[in-house]
Amino acid sequence: MMTQPKQPTAFNGDNIPATIKANNRWAPWKAVFNDKRQKFDKIPCTTTGYGLSTAKPERWYSYEQALEAFTHNPALFAGVGYVMTGPHGVVGIDLDGCVRDNTIDDWALEVIETLASYTELSPSGKGLRILVEGKIASDWTNHEVGIEVYGGLEPRFLTVTGQRLKVSVHELATPPAEALEGLAQAYAKVKSASNVISLQLPDLIDELDGWPDINGLGLPYQASDFLAEGTTGTDRSRTLFTTSVALYAAGLDDAQVLTVLANNEHAMEVALSHRRYDHDRALMYLWVEHCQKAKARATSKVASADDFEVINTPSDQSIPASAAPEKIAKPMRFQFSQAADYLNRRPVQWLIKKVLPHGDVGAVFGESGAGKSFLALDLVMAIATGTPWRGHEVTQGTVAYIVAEGAGGFTTRLRAYSEHHGVDLATAPVHVLGDAPNFLEKADIKDLITATRALAGLSVIVVDTLAQVTAGGNENSGEDMGRALAHCKALGTATGAMVLLVAHSGKDSTRGLRGWSGIKGALDVEILVERSDKYRSATVTKMKDGDGEGEEFAFSLASVTVGQDEDGDDITSCVVQHGASVPKAQRKTEPKGVWQQVVLRQAIALTDLPGIVTTSQLIDASVAEMPLGDGKRDRRRNLVMRALEALVAANRLSTTGGSVNVF
């Protein structure tokens, strides 16, 4: 995550007028460097750091919520701002580049004196912002002078600093109507009635919801070449416009056309260059100039044979059939298969038969210290070398391993595996990334897709661990974890590889991975790694398709010396040593937490004395050892009984017949 740059103008929330503080129109914003402009763009965000739509009021925040997000995470956010979208009695006036060496230009001073309302410095310290109460007929800009006026008729986000000028009033004033009208007459450019068109942008389609596929639309080659390579004639804008016409003519709707253009680097470059590299204005430029106007051109009535009288054409002047090509039908997004054809679908493909399918997303999970990372490495190294794993057939393929946690430990772990199994890592198709891309950020996933597509024959991408690649997210949130899993599937779809997550288990490992309960349902396979004293096991707890669910694989960790440090001490790591299963009744699990430790200690002490120890005696002794908590209720007995049940389940104690025995 990039640290936010320090703004030249410091934030002072105390000076922000109460009038606008009371409106739920706030959001934190972050600065994103624009290479082309060589300056930072100001991007409104949700409180978790995602981009915020200025067209969706339900996602806006109160001033207090936006301020809390900014002040608690200054590394992510650079300030707070106000959403102007929708007329609501507030007009914002931006005066750009009017402050030079702490002196305000004369033309800007005249505007300030005319409006006589709240005025503050911009974040850059080079411009001013005036906020007034009132309304205007339309939003307008004059880039030559550097003045922009917004009344909410276009989607717009204004950064707010609270750095009020000394000559400014503290609250929003209501200037005479002729003051705003006079400002427009002096600076706004005249628009003809024919230019009055809708300024309401449709929502862009998210990539994960499926961007329009333009390859099968039968676009003219000029449009295809422009979208693919940026090829244009002498007029880039005209090429962009004709491309937009072609997209509408092919059957795409408003949201689809705007999504194609907004996410195409060549179209967006044309738009940005026409709007001073301001992203919001560039998007509006695409919508107004290259969507709505192109749509009108594409849907305008064109004369057909039905519009004319029947005219007999001489046979030697007959029109060839090829002169009237048929319009290519837009492919259907959803297509049903007849039941018999559906049965002929390709069967389940395996990376490791009945253990690891070639699915979308899987997980190896367990408690800390269970050995899940060692097991994950053991699985994928078998895939890389094409070596059967525990007697199960393996399909050889390339492995990409993202070491987002414990990169130093992974180095010795990989070396230990190589030396123990005699694997030449110089020729093995294993590629390691010692970094932690954020799986909540679409930009990181796109960059990761680009990097992994360069790996030939890629079969599996290991992400170790899930917690480290979802930094800043709430692991219990369906929104955050659902987004991360959707990005995992997008990564797998783009590369043709399975994404294998290494993750922590929750308090109850039988319920799956730690965090959001919906994770389990999104996985193709789930492998639980458990440890009972020295015994370890890996159990396939979910297999969405195919056989293998419920199968358990016992293993232990064998120490391997991989070298010596500068003091001459051995450097060691471990490798998975496959073994025979032990019945669960014979497995012992170490006590967890202070309550289990107290109960086990009391049980050992009491059973060392002559006579039979009853369950009640053990409970009373354990309760007496623990201090009374700060709460109003004494919960010690309930906590002791819960710890006792856990120790019985872990085969550390027996309470058969009401008497206590220690194993």
Residue for token pair 């955050």 = 480
Q: What number of CA atoms fall less than 13 Å from residue 534's CA on the CB side?
A: 6
- For the chain, the straight-line distance linking the first and the last C-alpha, in angstroms and rounded, comes to 50
Residues 415 and 562: their CA atoms lie apart, in Å, by 7
Kindly tell me if the per-residue pLDDT of 300 is higher than 70. Answer: no
The candidate with the shortest Cα–Cα distance to 28, out of 83, 81, 85, 84, is: 81
The residues facing 159 across adjacent strands are 81
Residues 90 and 83: their CA atoms lie apart, in Å, by 11
CA dihedral 416, 422, 423, 424 (to 10 degrees): 100
* Cβ neighbours of 142 (radius 10 Å): 15
Residues 390 and 578: their CA atoms lie apart, in Å, by 8
* Cβ neighbours of 566 (radius 10 Å): 5
Give 458: exposed, middle or buried? Use CB within 10 Å, 0-12, 13-18, 19+: buried
pLDDT of residue 327: 43
Q: Which domains does the chain have, with CATH numbers?
A: 13-195 (3.90.920), 207-299 (no CATH), 350-585 (3.40.50.300), 593-662 (1.10.10)
CB 437 within 8 A of CB 447: yes
Kindly tell me if the per-residue pLDDT of 516 is higher than 90. Answer: no
Residue for token pair 């492919």 = 331
* Cβ neighbours of 38 (radius 10 Å): 8
300: helix, strand or coil: coil
Residues 86 and 312: their CA atoms lie apart, in Å, by 59
Q: Express each pLDDT in 582-597 by its tens digit.
A: 666 566 667 778 888 8
Q: Express each pLDDT in 149-158 by its tens digit.
A: 999 988 888 9
pTM: 0.49
pLDDT of residue 549: 92
Helices within 502-653 (DSSP H only): 519-522, 593-607, 615-625, 636-649
Q: Report percent pLDDT > 70 for the chain.
A: 87
At what angle are helices 254-262 and 265-274 packed, to 10 degrees? 80
Kindly tell me if the per-residue pLDDT of 194 is higher than 90. Answer: no
DSSP 61: B
At what angle are helices 372-385 and 407-421 packed, to 10 degrees? 50
Q: Express each pLDDT in 100-153 by its tens digit.
A: 888 898 889 989 999 999 999 998 889 999 999 999 988 998 887 889 999 998
Kindly tell me if the per-residue pLDDT of 18 is higher than 90. Answer: yes
Q: Which residue has the higher pLDDT, 342 or 331?
A: 342
The pLDDT of 281-294, averaged and rounded, is: 87
The pLDDT of 448-477, averaged and rounded, is: 92
The pLDDT of 444-471, averaged and rounded, is: 92
Q: Which residue has the higher pLDDT, 28 or 346?
A: 28
Phi and psi for 658 in degrees, rounded to 5?
85, 0
Residues 513 and 268: their CA atoms lie apart, in Å, by 41
pLDDT of residue 3: 61
pLDDT of residue 4: 63
pLDDT of residue 213: 75
* Cβ neighbours of 107 (radius 10 Å): 14
pLDDT of residue 15: 95
pLDDT of residue 328: 41
Residues 413 and 432: their CA atoms lie apart, in Å, by 13
The pLDDT of 18-23, averaged and rounded, is: 95
Residues in CB range of 43: below 8 A, 6 or more apart: 29, 30, 31, 32, 51, 279
Residues 470 and 487: their CA atoms lie apart, in Å, by 11
CB 85 within 8 A of CB 158: no
Compute the mean pLDDT over every residue in the chain, rounded to the nearest whole number.
84
CB 172 within 8 A of CB 116: no
CB 139 within 8 A of CB 158: no
Can you list the pairs that 569-573 forms with residues at least 24 positions away whose Cβ atoms lie under 8 Å?
Answer: 571/412, 572/412, 572/416, 573/409, 573/412, 573/413, 573/415, 573/416
Residues in CB range of 620: below 8 A, 6 or more apart: none
Q: What number of CA atoms fall less than 13 Å from residue 211's CA on the CB side?
A: 14
Of the pLDDT bands very low, low, confident and very high (cuts 50, 70, 90), residue 362 is very high
How many residues in total does the chain contain? 663
Can you list the pairs that 513-519 forms with residues at least 24 positions away whose Cβ atoms lie under 8 Å?
Answer: 513/363, 513/365, 513/466, 514/365, 514/467, 514/475, 515/475, 515/476, 515/481, 516/475, 516/476, 516/477, 516/478, 516/480, 516/481, 516/482, 518/478, 518/481, 518/482, 519/363, 519/481, 519/485
The residues facing 530 across adjacent strands are 537
Q: Which residue has the higher pLDDT, 27 or 369?
A: 27
595: helix, strand or coil: helix
The pLDDT of 328-349, averaged and rounded, is: 71
Residues 435 and 598: their CA atoms lie apart, in Å, by 41
CB 364 within 8 A of CB 372: yes
